[in-house]
Copies of this chain bind each other. A is one copy, B any other.
Amino acid sequence: MNQPMTYEEFQRRVSGVILTENGNCPVTPVIQMLQGKWKLQIIYELCIQSPMRFGELKKMLHPITNTMLTNALKELERDGLVHREQYNEIPPRVEYSLTEKGRDLLPVFYAISQWGMKYIP
């Protein structure tokens, strides 16, 4: 499951139904993991700048609420995409950054941006 695969190979296999017919599709679980209004945007912000403090993220993602940001960050941390570093200062300081696993989503954003530049007016 860890072999590299060229884009041409992907095209061939994707039209050969090889990827979904067994339970081992490498696409569907990822899509599900990234669902929700904010997760992809948070990761994208952290691609742009990392680490970021809670308050900075909140400002960038305005109008997100505390609750939403907290929940999304918790889930991203649980899934190993985001690292949380807490400094015991007053007032508190917490910095969020991407793990390698999270940073490896950059090609996805690149593909999305290519599409966006072609099709978004």
Interface residues of A (CB under 8 A from B): 1-3, 5, 7, 10-11, 14-15, 17, 19-20, 25-31, 35, 37, 40-41, 44-45, 47-49, 60, 101, 104-120
Contact = CB atoms under 8 A, between A and B. Distances in A.
B106 A108 contact: no
A58 to B, nearest CB: 15
Each complex incorporates copies of this chain amounting to 2
A31 B20 contact: no
A115 B107 contact: yes
A110 B26 contact: no
24 contacts: A2-B117, A5-B117, A7-B110, A10-B110, A14-B48, A15-B48, A15-B49, A17-B48, A20-B45, A20-B48, A25-B116, A26-B114, A27-B112, A27-B116, A29-B116, A29-B120, A30-B115, A30-B120, A31-B41, A104-B119, A105-B115, A107-B111, A108-B112, A111-B111
